Structure 1
């Protein structure tokens, strides 16, 4: 049985969810970002306890089909941006269509209607947050970041960065506070 979890966007989240599953006596076959596959169907009591425990940690179990699809879109984008080397530019619409088995126009219209923003803007926001992270770590120069993030040039990354943040990557790097956002706040 699959359960879909909102805001489960990192490896620490997966660990926290696993702990809560164990507390209510459920054994996962697999835990992935935004999704749990259980070995057996939970009882109503287990499911309620799990929902309460997850809510207390800032997660939410998703039970309707459209909400699940929105979370799957977000999860695929997060995986693509934060956990995949995208030095080869990928066509986002093709990736989502392939992974979610839905027509991109349907996914795009649903996402826009529910989230109030486009898939593309969400994707760009994730890419800029990843670029911020890489700038803060100071391990890569801007050319290497642009290449890793799948940008065709440093100028394109810089222009998009400035459009989203209001500052250039260099200005951001020189900030003391580094105004980064949590992935699940985007």
Structure 2
């Protein structure tokens, strides 16, 4: 997209009214101005005008948005049950955007990251077992998960852990596992050398 001389003249007039030119700027001849493309910046001194918006990535498509909305609604449902009061889907979206540092309209490239986060959240909320064994509370689970992850990172076997979770348990993250399955993975990882 090419900007016309008329638009550039208007921008120059606005900048001239806002910024007082110093003596050096008054003496120098005006350079020819042409702007093309998107995301252009025109400025003088401490005033900068952004002209056009740089579209770095394509926004989420309808299908991707629908799958994420389904996950968000499911998380909101389980959070409402856990808390004993209504938890809205908008609150889930807000918490997700804050946690992942996302803009209001996320790009299509962020879909996988958002989905992984929401699945992890869903696993944390929905996988609470009412008849957990003694000692198998949230702190126990967190310690197990942390120990498994640190061991795999130490041994550089995170890919092997992902394969184990996918093939044996059909899970993508450790928090999706039940207590017994988490204990099995812990014992398996502790034997790796």
TM (normalized to structure 2)?
0.24
Max Rg structure: 2
